[in-house]
Chain A
Amino acid sequence: GEDVEQSLFLSVREGDSSVINCTYTDSSSTYLYWYKQEPGAGLQLLTYIFSNMDMKQDQRLTVLLNKKDKHLSLRIADTQTGDSAIYFCAVKGAGNNRKLIWGLGTSLAVNP
């Protein structure tokens, strides 16, 4: 079946940039998402990119998409302690049921 993979942990210093990576297998993916889950909370959409785009920037967030390598990354500039959370990569295929294929999440720890 289709798969989305992410590294499980990332640790950075406050003020540095964080880069969270994701690879996926479904070449027909239309939308690719980054969701954030803070402790004890539900997931919230951070940003998403359509498959015909290479890059999307939104304030401190930069999403890069390499369709050839099926690689998605999320860069967080000037990482703050409030960015500590689990970040999920999710990919929407070509079907209509709104089904997303989720990665297992990358736990980002920001050290002061």
Chain B
Amino acid sequence: EAQVTQNPRYLITVTGKKLTVTCSQNMNHEYMSWYRQDPGLGLRQIYYSMNVEVTDKGDVPEGYKVSRKEKRNFPLILESPSPNQTSLYFCASSFWWTEDNEKLFFGSGTQLSVL
């Protein structure tokens, strides 16, 4: 089954404790992206990647890191989480230069709480 898998679904942590949210897709997509969703602010892009070893900042990259060492994986790293990073996070992926490149596939989300 074609899917984007994020883990974990729920995470409670404390300020300053490094964490990684994993994202994996099985559709051979070139493009991957991370979003955060907050009430009243909608979806905001954190980072995106157009292919292996190619990443770029989105609208709200501060406090986050990403890497794209393999095509299927795009982990989101919070080196020193703070309470203002409490949010619902989504990973998404799509093809790049095909007719299907307009369809973003989303993971089920990771609800992060930073105390």
Interface string of A46-58 (1 = CB under 8 A from B): 0010000000000
B31 touches A98 (CB 8 A): yes
What is the interface of chain B mostly: helix, strand, loop, or mixed? Answer: strand
Of B13-21, B68-76, B79-87, B105-113, which stretch is located at the interface?
B105-113
Tell me if A99 and B45 are in contact (CB < 8 A): yes
Whether A92 contacts B58 by the Cβ 8 Å rule is no
The total of chain B residues at the interface (CB under 8 A) is: 24
> A97–B4 Cα gap in the complex (Å)?
20
Interface size on A, residues (CB 8 A): 20
Q: Does B25 contact A (CB under 8 A)?
A: no
Beyond contacts A35-B104, A105-B42: 5 other A-B pairs, Cβ-Cβ < 8 A, are A31-B102, A48-B103, A88-B43, A98-B48, A102-B42
